[in-house]
Amino acid sequence: QVQLRESGGGSVQAGGSLRLSCAASGYIDNYCMGWFRQAPGKEREGVATVNTRDGLTHYARSVEGRFTISQDNAKNTLYLLMNSLKPEDTAMYYCAADHVFTGGVCQPNLGYGYWGQGTQVTVSS
């Protein structure tokens, strides 16, 4: 069982940047890991995923080219670098993980079994 803790959220003006971190309580070598977000009144959205076995990534169209997901296996940490932020990026951002036994793209609709408590990102216009 792995525990996840997000950090790095905050308030920023449109066009700014933030980097979210997700610290895992154990090794992250064999996981699908991802960042998800949920705004009030909206469904949860898969923002970006990575397969930590081979580094393959997947992005939502709404963030492609602006957000970058990355991992540091030595630090057991997942990151999300968010550039060119827009007001519509405002949401609670969650880190999630689940065991994986092969390489390949991790789909956002995979049943992720481990979740962090979230970190708030607010982008003002």
Q: Does residue 111 register a pLDDT over 90?
A: no
Alpha carbon 26 to its chain centroid, in Å, reads 17
pLDDT at 1: 84
> What confidence tens digit (pLDDT) does each residue in 82-96 have?
999 999 999 999 999
Instruction: Kindly report the average pLDDT of the chain as a whole number.
Output: 96
Q: What are the CA-CA distances from residue 46 to residues 3, 39, 103, 109 (Å)?
A: 19, 12, 19, 8
Strand partners for 57: 50
> What confidence tens digit (pLDDT) does each residue in 30-49 have?
999 999 999 999 999 999 99
Q: Does residue 109 register a pLDDT over 90?
A: no
Contact 69, 48 (CB under 8 A): yes
User: Of the given ranges (10-14, 29-33, 114-118), which has the lowest mean pLDDT?
Assistant: 29-33
> Whole-angstrom Cα distance, residue 102 to residue 54?
9
Q: Does residue 118 register a pLDDT over 90?
A: yes
pLDDT at 70: 96
Q: Residue 106 — very low, low, confident or very high, per pLDDT cuts 50/70/90?
A: very high
Q: What are the CA-CA distances from residue 94 to residues 44, 69, 70, 113, 116 (Å)?
A: 10, 13, 15, 13, 6
| Mean per-residue pLDDT, 3-14 | 98
Q: Does residue 110 register a pLDDT over 90?
A: no
